Structure 1
Amino acid sequence: MKTIFVQFKCRPGMAYQVADELVLEVQEISEVFSTSGHYDLIAKFYLADDQDIGRFVTERLQVLEGVADTFTLVAFKAFT
């Protein structure tokens, strides 16, 4: 399993709609939060080891209505 975090810049007034769409339509999502700063949302996803991160982000996330830009981070290790 691979863990990625994706930050979303949304079109004005669309952040809540994008968050709802992520939760309802993207089964790989774990959590989504609203944020302040350059991006409106950050979401955590778990992908299968053989799943292509680039294709997942460009074909499943960037095409959602209201998404203006994304920034992807790959996580290597979780500390507890």
Structure 2
Amino acid sequence: MTICVFIQIRCKPGTTYKVAEQIALLEIHSELYSTSGDYDLLMKLYIPKNEDVGKYINDHLLVIPDIERSLTTMTFKVF
């Protein structure tokens, strides 16, 4: 069973579209949105079975240059 997480991403100023394009090329996300507020992007991601959530995000997403900060929200039950 996969784990659904939402990741808010803050980019260095002026790099949001560049970061979004790099995320899209990785093809690891389910959905990706630009947002207003403290973070620039909101990503819905399904972590593959038997993967460590933190390590997966660190190894697959946070290697992208110009990401300043991220905030991960793990999900539990679907209603």
Q: Does 1:70 align with 2:70?
A: yes
Q: Among the aligned pairs, what percent are the same residue?
A: 36
Residue 73 (structure 1) shift: 0.6
Gaps of 5+ in 2: none
Offset of residue 78 of structure 1: 2.4
2:36 match: 36
Moved more, 30-39 or 58-67: 58-67
In 2: Cα distance, 1:78 partner to 1:20 partner: 29
State the 1:23 CA deviation: 1.1
Partner of 1:4: 5
State TM-score, norm by structure 2. Answer: 0.90
Shift of 1:20: 0.9
One-letter identity of the residue aligned with 1:10: C
How many residues are aligned here?
Answer: 78
Give the 4+ runs in structure 1 shifted more than 2 A. none
- TM-score normalized with structure 1 length: 0.89
For residues 7 and 28 of structure 1, the distance between their equivalents in structure 2, rounded to whole angstroms, comes to 15
Work out the CA distance in 1 between the residues paired with 2:54 and 2:28: 14
Name the residue aligned to 1:61. 61
Matched, 1:21 2:42: no
Is 1:49 aligned with 2:49?
yes
Unpaired runs of at least 5, structure 1: none
Structure 2: distance between partners of 1:12 and 1:20 = 15
